[in-house]
Structure 1
Amino acid sequence: MPVHRIIRALSFRPALALTAMNSAQFPLHASDGPPAVRVMAQSDLPVALSLSEDVRWPHRPSDWKMLFQMGEGCVAEVGGAVVGVGMRWLWDERGASVGLLVVAPAFRERGIGSVLLEALCAGLDGRTVLLHAPGKLHRFYARMGFERIGEVHQYEGKALPAPLMALPEGCRLRPGGRNDLQLLVGMEQGARGVARPSLIQAWLRQSIGTVVLDHPDGPRGFAILRRFGRGAMVGPVVAPCAMSAKAMIAHLSGLVTGRVLRLDVHADGELEDWLGCLGLAHVADATVLARGTPASPTAPFLPFALADKALG
Structure 2
Amino acid sequence: MTVPLINLESYDLLQTEMKAEHLDGLHALSASIGWPHRKADWAVNLAAGKGIVAVDESGRIHGSAMYFTLGGDVSAVGMVIAHPRLKLEGLATCLMANIVERTEDRPAFLNACNDVVPFYRSLGALPVGPVFQHQGIVGPVSISKGRCRVAEAPDLPQLIACDADAHGVDRSTLILELWRVSETVVIERRGRIRGFAMRRQFGRGHLIGPIIAEKEVDAIALVEAFVANLPGSFVRVDTRVKHGPFRQYLENSGLVPVMNVVNMTFGQLPSRGSNAVFGLSSHSTG
- The match for 1:303 among 277, 282, 286 is 277
- The match for 1:60 among 38, 46, 54 is 38
Deviation string 1:231-286 (CA, Å, 9 cap, x unpaired) is: 11110001112111111111111122211000001132012122111111111211
| Aligned-pair CA distance for 1:288 | 0.4
1:128 to 2:107 alignment = yes
8 Å contact kept, 1:31–1:78:
no
8 Å contact kept, 1:162–1:251:
no
8 Å contact kept, 2:210–2:281:
yes
The 5-angstrom pairing of residues 74-223 of structure 1 reads 74-80=52-58, 81-164=60-143, 172-207=147-182, 209-216=183-190, 218-223=192-197
8 Å contact kept, 1:33–1:79:
no
Distance in 1 (alpha carbons) for counterparts of 2:127 and 2:191 = 36
Deviation string 1:113-161 (CA, Å, 9 cap, x unpaired) is: 0110110121424522111001231111111121111210111111122
Report the number of matched residues.
280
Which residues of structure 2 form unaligned runs of 5+? 3-7
Task: State the match for 1:279 in structure 2.
Answer: 254
Q: Secondary structure at the match of 2:192?
A: coil
1:50 to 2:28 alignment = yes
Amino acid of the structure 1 residue aligned with 2:16: R
Which residues of structure 1 form unaligned runs of 5+? 1-10, 16-29
1:40 to 2:29 alignment = no
Change (3 A) 1:266 1:165: farther
Deviation string 1:23-77 (CA, Å, 9 cap, x unpaired) is: xxxxxxx853454322222222111110100122111111111211221111223
Q: Secondary structure at the match of 1:214?
A: strand
Distance in 2 (alpha carbons) for counterparts of 1:161 and 1:123 = 47
Amino acid of the structure 1 residue aligned with 2:153: R
**Deviation beyond 4 Å, 4+ runs, structure 1:** none
8 Å contact kept, 1:236–1:307:
yes
Deviation string 1:169-198 (CA, Å, 9 cap, x unpaired) is: xx9422213321111110000000111112
Amino acid of the structure 1 residue aligned with 2:205: G
8 Å contact kept, 1:84–1:101:
yes
Distance in 1 (alpha carbons) for counterparts of 2:260 and 2:72 = 29
Amino acid of the structure 2 residue aligned with 1:50: A
TM-score, normalization by structure 2: 0.91
Distance in 2 (alpha carbons) for counterparts of 1:112 and 1:35 = 9
Distance in 2 (alpha carbons) for counterparts of 1:32 and 1:57 = 24
Task: State the match for 2:5 in structure 1.
Answer: none
Q: Secondary structure at the match of 1:122?
A: helix
Distance in 2 (alpha carbons) for counterparts of 1:203 and 1:41 = 19
8 Å contact kept, 1:232–1:256:
no
8 Å contact kept, 1:71–1:90:
yes
Q: Secondary structure at the match of 2:68?
A: strand
Distance in 1 (alpha carbons) for counterparts of 2:152 and 2:179 = 7
8 Å contact kept, 2:29–2:61:
no
| Structure with greater strand percent | 2
Distance in 1 (alpha carbons) for counterparts of 2:107 and 2:142 = 39
Distance in 1 (alpha carbons) for counterparts of 2:254 and 2:40 = 26
8 Å contact kept, 1:210–1:252:
no
Identity %: 27
TM-score, normalization by structure 1: 0.84
